Amino acid sequence: MGQSIHRVAPVSRADRIEALMEGSRADWTIESLADLARRESICALHLMHVGGDGWLKSLDFTLREPDQLESVLRTGERADGSSLFAGMGIDAGASDIVLRPRPETAFLDPFSAEPALVVLCGHLDRSGQPLDISPDTVVRRAASRLGQELDCELQALGEVEYFLGHRSDKLDAWGSDDRGYHATSPFVFGAGLRRRAMQVLEDVGVGVKYGHSEVGWMQAEGWTWEQHEIELALAPLPQAADAVVLTQWVLRNLAHEQGLKCSFAPVVVAGHAGSGAHFHFSPVRGGEHLGAGDSVESLGPEAQALIAGLVQDGGALMTWGNRDPSSFMRLAQGKESPETITWGCYNRKALVRIPIRARSGDGKTITAPTIEFRLPDGAVHPHLLLAGVAQAMVAAAARGGTAEVLERSESGQGAGEALPLDRAGIASDLQACRADMEADGVIPGLLVDAELERLCGD
């Protein structure tokens, strides 16, 4: 059998924890999870959390005592903050922090050989307060401040693009360079894995909008690579950030199971399509999506503030949205990636895009209107990026003059300012915008200093 055939195990819907719990996730408690563990003979607990580097971490327990799970969920567990947040000011001599579980995030581990419960955690300092430099703390603080300042909630969804790779064989002759958009099997070998991933994500509590194969397809150094995308569902900023890291975790594990490589690198092979991590945003008030129009005049104040903030602070946001050396190659190649600091309707070359909305036969909009930020790529730190976007939006609203900013930066009205294409340029923009990022202590100055040191280093 050729290497291009990758069989995917069927999904058991019993993996959905919702089928085993009463009420919505918001109603779940430590006691109800402990009861689930007893009923379902769960023998392991994995406390997962996001470290300073933006990667998913895990602290694992084997459950030997009947009350052990309830005890851990109630008190949390200590961890070494100097390792999890290296270079961020935590002294190894006093580095204990606490993982604080959130019961509403629980799911059954789809990759565990034994029945295991996963619970996502935030971080507390030694005094029991949210750890100031934790990505989880930062994005929650940013979302809360935006709600207080603008009387709305900002929701987001990530478009997770990725490449799958396997050793080339004769069946790969079906492929065609960078012509894989919406291709079906057998012209792509990863369709089954993508569909499996979408089901697993729903099982672990991540909402999914859709998935498809993407443009990228190429052969290099004995490997065949093809690109796919999974677009997630709108969620409040903290949950949207968690959804991206969970999606990457699921995809990496499924690829590993099937002997495939999985890459989120901005560029896998030079000259070919790169992987973005675009984010769509929607301001919401009272359950109503405040929407986007197709002209400056038709945009509401919240949409104007969001676009203006992304345009004004876009270069600084590359600090957390474009963190890999190949990030600059993706932008320089110009393959449906932003080239200048502009916004526009439907324009895939703009930094900020207002996409078309699905409508019913009588013309009514049937999907939430969104504003797409097309700059970030697969090296994104989603928690800090989304916190930065919220800060940029609040700052733009406070400065005022958003309509004028949009008129000057609308695509087709001029060349637009160039994006930074090196780390020094990003550092310069971050320094210029640091007051926006640090406002009300949302993104600690210590984090900004650490990023400036990274960007300005050799």
Same domain, 165 and 231: yes
Residue 329 domain-assigned (yes or no): yes
Confidence (pLDDT) at 279: 98
Residues 365 and 441 placed together within one structural domain of the fold? yes
Q: Are residues 28 and 60 in the same domain?
A: yes
Domain end, chosen from 131, 154, 189, is at 131
The answer to whether residues 114 and 203 belong to one domain is: no
Residue 5 covered by a domain = no
Last residue of some domain: 131, 150, 168? Answer: 131
Judge if 273 and 363 occupy the same domain: yes
Q: Which domain holds residue 114?
A: 13-131
Can you give the pLDDT at residue 73?
98
Residue 32 in domain: yes
Q: Is residue 261 part of a domain?
A: yes
- Return the pLDDT at 164: 97
Each residue's pLDDT, cut to its tens digit, for the chain (458 residues) gives 333 444 444 444 445 899 999 899 999 999 999 999 999 999 999 999 999 999 999 999 999 988 999 999 999 999 999 999 998 888 888 899 999 999 999 999 999 999 999 999 999 999 999 999 999 999 999 999 999 999 999 999 999 999 999 998 876 666 677 778 999 888 899 999 999 999 999 999 999 999 999 999 989 899 999 999 999 999 999 999 999 999 999 999 999 999 999 999 999 999 898 999 999 999 999 999 987 766 677 899 999 999 999 999 999 999 999 999 999 999 988 777 887 899 988 787 889 999 887 777 777 777 889 999 999 999 999 999 999 999 999 999 999 999 999 999 988 665 678 899 999 999 999 999 999 999 999 999 999 999 999 999 85
Domain-located, residue 3: no
- Looking at residue 179, what is its pLDDT? 79
- For residue 161, what pLDDT is reported? 98
Tell me how far apart the alpha carbons of residues 241 and 422 are, in angstroms, rounded to a whole number: 25
Same domain, 127 and 259: no
- 310 in the same domain as 435: yes
Residue 308: predicted pLDDT: 97
Does the residue 334 lie in any domain? yes
Number of domains in the chain: 2
Is there a single domain that holds both residue 127 and residue 151?
no
Same domain, 439 and 379: yes
Indicate left, alpha or beta for 400 from its phi (over 0: left) and psi (-120 to 50: alpha).
left
Q: Running DSSP on this structure, what letter comes out for residue 410?
A: B
Q: Looking at the domain assignment, is residue 257 inside a domain?
A: yes
pLDDT of 7 reads: 46
**Among 77, 103, 131, which residue terminates a domain?**
131
Question: Quick one: CA dihedral 116, 121, 126, 129, positive or negative?
Answer: negative
Paired with 225 in beta bridges are 165, 218
Residues 108 and 230 in one domain: no
pTM higher than the cut 0.85: yes
Which CATH number goes with the domain that contains 173? 3.30.590.10
In which residue are the tokens 């961020």 written? 88
> Do 206 and 342 fall within a single domain?
yes
Burial 414-452 (b: 16+ CB within 10 A, else e): eebeebbeebebbbbbbeebbebbbbeebbbebbbebbb
Dihedral in degrees, nearest 10, Cα atoms 400, 311, 394, 55: -170
pLDDT at 3: 39
DSSP string, 146-161: HHHHHSSEEEEEEEEE
pLDDT score recorded for residue 13: 41
CATH code, domain carrying 73: 3.10.20.70
SS3 (DSSP) at 194 = helix
In the three-class reduction of DSSP (H, G, I as helix; E, B as strand; rest coil), residue 242 is classed as helix
187 and 123: one domain? no
Span between the terminal Cα atoms of the chain, in Å? 48
Residue 7 within any structural domain of the chain: no
